[in-house]
Amino acid sequence: MRVVPKKELGQHFLVDENILGVIGRLAELGEQDVVLEVGPGLGVLTRYLADRVAHVHAVELDRRLEPGLRGIPRTELHWGDALALDPATLEPSPTKLVSNLPYNIATPLVVESLDRMPTVASWCVMVQREVADRFFALPATKAYGAVSVLVQLVTERTGFHAVSREVFRPKPNVDSALVAFRRTAPGVPAGVKNVVEGAFAHRRKTLANSLALTGLASREQVVAALATIARDPSARAEVLAPAEFVALASALG
């Protein structure tokens, strides 16, 4: 049965198997790995993973895809919204997240996985090129934002590969990329995520004004905290390095 991709689900099915070798290399797949795949689609990547790892947890929202995914060896299907998935229900616990992520959940899924999936030690995800660039953007660049800070506080990039639009059906109107990264910390330090998201909530305003508008602290408190990390009161969020956000959150108490 031919399945027509749903635009509202961000579906762009992987159909070109030539990219699988690149995914396998960047993901550093091993026979003991337990892989979480979100959005298996037609199962092209799922089958590749199942041939190389101990177990695959494939999470899919679209039940129309069930006939093509049923019966893949060493693969357990989980039906539902990946963002609502309780990682504690995955047994054995995933050690890697390897996916062609649906466009509409890619960023929140990766951010949530940093804290909610502590057993995941590495990621290899296919995402929009601008999202991949955002994950490891440098401070004071256009792509740098809250997502950059959170991802970089917990991981380091290990690989990157631009992906042709031709590997998907339907062909997307945007460029894509594979980005691989490994865990370097258990999660985002307590209290830091709220500060980071509040700091970038009003990107064109100073960091002190943005945090005050979100109600996390008064402008005076933020200015005082910025002074403790040797930053000017007029500093904007985009100039602070990830580690400075940790120090700022600590200064804010």
Residue 9 in this model has a pLDDT that exceeds 60: no
Q: What pLDDT score was predicted for residue 14?
A: 76
- Written as one letter, the residue type at 183 is R
CB 51 within 8 A of CB 71: no
| Stretch 122-131: mean pLDDT | 96
Closest CA to 15 of 2, 32, 26: 2
| C-alpha–C-alpha distance, residues 170 and 183, integer Å | 33
| C-alpha–C-alpha distance, residues 167 and 116, integer Å | 31
26-85 pLDDT, tens digit per residue, is 999 999 999 999 999 989 999 999 999 999 999 999 998 999 999 999 999 999 999 999
The chain-wide mean pLDDT, for the chain, equals 93
Residue 133 in this model has a pLDDT that exceeds 80: yes
DSSP H helix total and E strand total for the chain: 10, 9
Indicate the pTM of the whole model: 0.92
Q: What pLDDT score was predicted for residue 201?
A: 96
| Stretch 163-167: mean pLDDT | 82
Residue 7 in this model has a pLDDT that exceeds 70: no
| Stretch 172-183: mean pLDDT | 91
Which residues, including other chains, have CB under 8 Å from residue 174's CB and lie 6 or more apart?
A: 128, 129, 130, 165
| Stretch 222-229: mean pLDDT | 98
Domain over 7-183 is classified CATH 2.60.40.10: no
Give residue limits of the domains in the chain: 7-183, 192-252
Q: What pLDDT score was predicted for residue 95?
A: 98
Query: Pick the residue with more confidence: 200 or 102?
Result: 200
Looking at domain 192-252, which CATH architecture does it have? Orthogonal Bundle (1.10)
Residue 10 in this model has a pLDDT that exceeds 60: no
- Give the single-character DSSP code of 216: S
Closest CA to 42 of 74, 80, 76, 2: 2
| C-alpha–C-alpha distance, residues 208 and 219, integer Å | 5
